[in-house]
Every structure is written in structure tokens, then in C-alpha cells.
Structure 1
Amino acid sequence: MDKLSPRQTSILEYIYSRFQQDGILPSYREIGDAMGIRSTNGVSDHIKALTRKGYLQRVGGTGKSALARAMRLTDLALTELSGDLQPEASLHDLDMIEVGVYGSVAAGLPALAVEHREETLRVDRCMIPGAGQVFALRVSGESMIEDGILPGDYIFVRKQLTVRDGEIAVVMVDGECTVKRFFREGDRIRLQPANSTMEPIYVAASEFREVHVVGIVSGVFRKMG
């Protein structure tokens, strides 16, 4: 099965969240509004890709406003959306869990995160509090060192589409991924490093750049030796 791009993953998660909340799938217009996609044709391209890759299935209906009546989430989508965080079956210690590592993210200038599982971390459950789908990324760069996030560390990322001001988030900017503290400032977003020698990244609404939140950082893991 083809892997999803970060954008396709976010759209699929939004569709799933609306299905969980409302019992139906959202329209193309609702997806576009939630994802910051101005054209329904742009949404249509993503829906076609999700259908081709086996995550959505057409069951009837026509028109871009009729997604709720025309599509359904496949078993593949429902299985994968149930979470990447799974119990470690081979361990008798029920406090241990597995978290998939899906590549690297820059704690510096934005850099692309690889969207496939490269390895698995086995950690104590208490390291990842709360509920929701969690995955791990390996950190490169030094822009978050004053928050205790060092090059080579692993960050645990809880997938969600929203973030509060000041939270550490993994953010996609024009298709590239970075980890920073997130702030809204009028008509722009500030992605603030935790390194006094580095400047923040500003994204203004007038620039029409594509920005969306992948998730918030819920923990840090460091291998010794």
C-alpha cells in the first residue's frame, strides 16, 4: 500500500475526527476550510489520492459537496487511525509500550520528515501521558536546546490539528517539517526556537504559505551511549 504524504495524513485524520464526532464525513468545502486549502479542486486531488491508496472508498453520490454521502473510510483507514501506539506483546511488563519512529525533524530550519516507520522505541508508558495517537521523530539541529531537546533526541508527537500559544509543536511549512514553540501574532504565526542565538521563523497570512500543525510534543527520549 502506498504511503501517505504528511498533507494526506492530516486530511485523513480530519475526516476521521469528523466521522467520530458527527457520524458522517465532511464536505470538500469543510475539508478545505479546516486544512487551509482555498480550492475544492485542491481538496479533490487529495481525496482522489486517498481513494487510490485505499483509505477512502466511493459508495455513491456525486458532486464535491456530497463527500459525506459519496465516500466511506475503508477498513485500512480505520485500522491505521486506531493509533501507532501499541502494547509490546512480547514483554510481560504491561507498563512498556512501543512507539514507531517515522524519520527526523529539524530543530532548526524546516526540513522534511520521512513518513515511514524506521524503527521502534520501547518505553515506559508513564513517559507518554494522555490519550491519542502518538509517534516519534528523531531530532536534528540545535534550535530547541534551551528546552532540553538536543540533536539525536527522539520527540514523542501527539497527532492533533490544533495547538495553543506557547506549546512545542511539529509544524509543516510549505511541505517541510520543523519543531518550534508556536505563537499566533495577529495575521502571522511565529515559530520560536529555544536557542538565544537563533531567530524565529515568521509566516504571515499575506504570504499565502501552506502551514499546518502535525501535532504537539508530549515528551523527549534520549538514548545513552
Structure 2
Amino acid sequence: MEIGSYLKELRLKNNLTTKQVELKTGISNSYISLIERNKRKPSAGILNKLAKAYQVKPEDLLYLMGYLPPIKAKDDFKQIPIYNIISTGKPSFISENIEGYSPIPPGLETLPMKDLFAIRVKDKSMIGKRIEEGDIVIIRRQSDVSNGTIAIISLNNEITIKEVVKQNKYIILQSTNLDHPPILVKKTDNFNIVGKVEWVMHKF
């Protein structure tokens, strides 16, 4: 889920039309529609106004959009670790290299805490899916994913983010950046799926 989809959920939860939000905030209903369709990135000022209209904490929206830095100390049970590894590393990275903590994004609160963690992206292989270097992705730990899922994978002790494409008996790790060609997983490869990408927090 992206921030626009979440903002739309908040609006509907408050039983508001885009026109009513315009009257409350001064933000045009057409611009609100563009934000909700992820066609525009809301500024910090707009997020503050929307937070007031939707009765949520402004800092929650600001963090999800990348306007606030990761929390440096784990001060409540609703935070998950952010790991600063993606391009290279060992599968044991999950227990080390913590750079901070992230609140659990909306919609994931019901998942077990032990199944969630975050990674700061260190490569540009998925820019076609609007996942860019410096973004934070929230991962749900699982050892398998369905065809076409964007996942964190370990291939020969290197950690990266790819779309997992399953064709017949083959697995192809697909990028959306032409500078990163597809990778066919061979039987001799040390390949593991670490988890599924559930949320993307963009860096600005």
C-alpha cells in the first residue's frame, strides 16, 4: 500500500467526500484525488492539514512519507527494526545492523510483530515500481511468495529486492530497471525468499 491509498482509506473512514475535505483544509478536491491515486506527492504542509481533518497524528503521516527520520530508540512495542543492508550481505543480516525503528504502517497492525521488519533500499533495481534507493520497505517474513510478488531475496549470500516470476519449473528474479537484467535462479544457486514487500516509505 502507498500513502495515497492510505489517505483515501482515512477519508472514507471519516465519511468524508473530497469536496468536504476541500472545505475543511483548503486543498482542492481535484488535488486530493491526485494524491489518493498516487499521482502527486503531498507536502508536509498538506499532510498536516489532512491529519487534522482525518483525526490522526501528523507525525504518523509525515513519517510514512519520509519527512521524519527513523526513530532512534525502540520506545514502544509497536515499532519494528530497520536494517541498513540490501545490496550485499549474509542471511544473518536480520539480527544485526539496525539503523533505527519504524512504526508499523497502517493495515499491518494485526500481523505478528515477529514477522515484520524494515530495510533501507540500497540499489536501483526496482525504480519502475517506484521503489528507489533510500526508500524504506516494510517486509513480512515468509519463505515463499506468489508469482509476480515483490520480495526481499537472498541469492548466493547477497540480499536484494526483486519481482519473483515463476514460469513452469523456473524462478526468474525480475528488475524494473533496464540496467539490471533478469536473473534465472539455477539449481546450484543458494536461493531463499526472505519476505514479501508489504509497504514502501519513500525518501524525499
For the aligned pair, the TM-score class normalised by the smaller chain equals 0.5 to 0.7
Corresponding residue number in structure 1 for 2:174: 192
Alignment of 1:130-169 (within 5 A): 131-132=111-112, 133-169=115-151
Distance change (3 Å), C-alpha of 1:194 and 1:130 = farther
Corresponding residue number in structure 2 for 1:126: 106
How much does 1:150 deviate?
0.7
SS in 2 for 1:140: coil
Task: Check conservation: 1:127, 1:219, Cα contact below 8 A.
Answer: no
Distance 2:159 2:102 in 1: 24
Q: Deviations over 1:87-106 (max 9, x none)?
A: 953xxxxxx93120122213
Residue 180 of structure 2 is aligned to residue 203 of structure 1: no
Task: Check conservation: 2:149, 2:196, Cα contact below 8 A.
Answer: yes
Q: Deviations over 1:52-88 (max 9, x none)?
A: xxxxxxxxxxxxxxxxxxxxxxxxxxxxxxxxxxx95
Residue 89 of structure 2 is aligned to residue 112 of structure 1: yes
How much does 1:139 deviate?
0.5
Task: Check conservation: 1:139, 1:153, Cα contact below 8 A.
Answer: yes
How much does 1:141 deviate?
1.4
Task: Check conservation: 1:144, 1:195, Cα contact below 8 A.
Answer: yes
TM-score by length of 1: 0.50
SS in 1 for 2:177: coil
Distance change (3 Å), C-alpha of 1:176 and 1:124 = closer
The percent of aligned pairs where both chains have the same amino acid is 26
Q: What is the aligned-residue RMSD (CA, Å)?
A: 2.3
Task: Check conservation: 1:101, 1:136, Cα contact below 8 A.
Answer: yes
Task: Check conservation: 2:166, 2:172, Cα contact below 8 A.
Answer: yes
How many correspondences in the alignment?
126
**Which runs of 5 or more structure 1 residues have no equivalent in the other structure?**
1-86, 90-95
Structure 1's consecutive aligned runs of 4 or more residues displaced over 4 angstroms after TM superposition are none
How much does 1:178 deviate?
1.2
Distance 2:158 2:180 in 1: 19
Q: Which amino acid aligns with 2:165?
A: F
Distance 1:136 1:102 in 2: 6
Residue 84 of structure 2 is aligned to residue 103 of structure 1: yes
Distance 2:121 2:80 in 1: 15
How much does 1:130 deviate?
5.2
Task: Check conservation: 2:151, 2:195, Cα contact below 8 A.
Answer: yes
| Larger strand percent | 1
Distance change (3 Å), C-alpha of 1:188 and 1:117 = same
Distance 1:198 1:140 in 2: 14
**Which runs of 5 or more structure 2 residues have no equivalent in the other structure?**
1-73
Distance 2:196 2:163 in 1: 10
Distance change (3 Å), C-alpha of 1:197 and 1:117 = closer
How much does 1:193 deviate?
0.4
Distance change (3 Å), C-alpha of 1:130 and 1:197 = farther
Alignment of 1:18-29 (within 5 A): none
SS in 2 for 1:209: coil
SS in 2 for 1:143: coil
Distance 1:104 1:200 in 2: 21
Corresponding residue number in structure 2 for 1:70: none
Distance change (3 Å), C-alpha of 1:127 and 1:194 = farther
TM-score by length of 2: 0.55
Distance change (3 Å), C-alpha of 1:190 and 1:129 = farther
